[in-house]
Amino acid sequence: MLERVIRKTVLVTVGAALAAVGCSLVLTTQNEQCTVDGDCAARGPAFAGTVCESRVCVSKPVDAGSDAAADADAAVDPNWGCLGTVVFPPAAKPKVKISIPFYELISKQPATNFLVRPCARLDVSCANPLSAPVAPDAKGVVTLDVDANFDGYAEIIPTFPDGGPPNYVPALAFFSPPPSNDTLYAALLLLTPASLTSLAATAGNAIDPKLGAVFFVAQNCAGKPADGVSVVTDRTEATTKGFYLIKGLPSETASATDAAGYGGFINLPTGYVRVNATVHDTGKTIGGTSVLVRPSTITYVYLVPSP
């Protein structure tokens, strides 16, 4: 079982790497957040009701005697208070830029030796990519030009040094919420085939090359990593194993995420698989999405509060 004490270095490295680069999940909040009120709305549900002041999104001021002021005084759950009222923002412009930083799992250094191309959701083999492959910059950041509210995926294409095995496990990335404006997404950690095999073997599992994997990160209404999130899929195989990273180590017996918000599934059936997230303590629906699973491939997905 995955909850046993794990002495393999690769799993300790998982926890360290996630702590190092996983604190921003979907959007990064920088010092300058906006120029007009509409920029705040475009940043997603965590910025609902805010206005732009001095290039920072702040809560809209209310009259002290108004009903709105009374409502503001009422206790609101900062983690899950938005559930049931989430609305993704409309497109701010026809074309947007989405940027994804990539890091190597073991070295925690920027990953640079691969290519990325955007693909339509129903083009499961990416036979007709939406643009030419893009290489990362020196910091491991890939920037793609896509249509606003792009609902496809990015295909991460490894290289094959000296004609041998790929330098990274092939991967796909699905974007949630869909990008309505230029968006910087969370860093993705690329694994070598040996790292993925070791990750499974230390828990007595084996990677089936005919099946695939999904790694997820859960996010709350404030746009932060979410603890207490339970995740399920609608399709499994006999060898499918689900896990949550608890204090940096994978556990099959944990029932929800810890404060880091990470987890995943190995040996999932290929094709589209729906991944659904709920608040463990209340059963409230957070959101879900359908993602493509390919054999011998890792699919990355962000689970965020959704309409």
- The tokens describing 76, both together, are 């609101």
Q: Which of 5-19, 62-76, 202-216, 284-298 has the lowest mean pLDDT?
A: 5-19
In a domain, 219, yes or no: yes
In a domain, 124, yes or no: yes
In a domain, 122, yes or no: yes
Confidence at residue 304, expressed as pLDDT on a 0 to 100 scale: 93
What CATH number should be reported for the domain holding residue 299? 2.60.40.1120
- The tokens describing 12, both together, are 């300790």
Q: How many domains does the chain have?
A: 1
Yes or no: say if 18 and 270 are a contact pair by the CB < 8 Å rule: no
pLDDT at 300 over 80: yes
In a domain, 84, yes or no: no
Confidence at residue 7, expressed as pLDDT on a 0 to 100 scale: 35
As a whole-number percent, the residues of the chain with pLDDT over 70 amount to 80
Confidence at residue 43, expressed as pLDDT on a 0 to 100 scale: 72
- Greater model confidence, 231 or 188: 231
In a domain, 82, yes or no: no
Give this prediction's pTM: 0.76
In a domain, 70, yes or no: no
In a domain, 176, yes or no: yes
Confidence at residue 154, expressed as pLDDT on a 0 to 100 scale: 97
Domain limits for position 17: 9-28+96-303
In a domain, 166, yes or no: yes
Confidence at residue 204, expressed as pLDDT on a 0 to 100 scale: 87
Give the residue among 285, 281, 199 at the shortest CA–CA distance from 243.
Answer: 199
